[in-house]
Structure 1
Amino acid sequence: MEREPHWVPKFKVPKHEIWNGVTPFSANDEWYYHMRFVKDLKGVTSTLSDVPPASTLKRPDGARSGNPTVRKAVANGESQHVAWAYERADGGRGFGFTGGHVHMNWQHDDNRKLMLDAILWTAKVKIPKAGVPSKTPTKEEIYANLD
């Protein structure tokens, strides 16, 4: 069951092309966790994982909060995947990302580079060793066109 709390994970670098040029980072966001994946995570590579803090379980159990299984996983310190790369048996690719709720995170260079790298990887385009370059958006650019 997904969870939708705000927390600040400390992401480490896994071995995957999506992390080309990305350094370990943290970002406050509404990171959903305790996701359901294909059996045995076949074809799934975690690209962002960490252990959520107990503070993410303050709400009572419910359809969009916790349940005994989620509470046990957090209490046991089980790392939770909040972004992943997926390669299907037929060669198709996908990328899942449960963040993206905090618009200001587009100013975070590593967060943005990870997303740009993921787009190229999904399209089977070679990712530069230093990752996809991009300019850090200004505050004005971040606030433009917000509805």
Structure 2
Amino acid sequence: MSVRVQTEDFDVGLEIQALRRNNPKVGAVAAFVGLVRDVNEGESIRGMVLEHYPGMTEKALEDIVTQAKDRWDVIDILVIHRVGPLKPTDQIVLVAVASGHRGDAFAACEFIMDYLKTRAPFWKKEQTPSGTRWVEARESDDIAAARWQA
């Protein structure tokens, strides 16, 4: 299981290949890549800055990954989340889950993203034509995460 918070971009293909490690037990890999959009809430986005709390952020991500590992039969999990200045089309996040079967891989991947959006300490500041603004939490993200409550 691996969690990385970094400013550098990542190569999705290489990361998934490394996650698989030619392990013959891996029958499925589910992955999600989040990107910076050029519009949010009807306003043009020129860029954004993602801030985090070093140490706390990694621990929160590791806790989310551990919860996924405890819930589903997974072989390996990778979470990479970028911080710092980003522009439209830049990759923000990669969540990849290797499992013996697609159901576990899909569910764990979706769970990690839903919890990451609501429980990981990241803060987004968008640059728009009218100035900068902090991105507020979305009710739809809370609803998505709530469905995983036992």
Provide TM-score, normalisation by structure 1.
Answer: 0.31
Relative contact order, higher structure (CA 8 A, sep 6+): 2
Could you say which structure has the higher helix fraction? 2
Could you say which structure has the higher strand fraction? 2
Provide TM-score, normalisation by structure 2.
Answer: 0.30
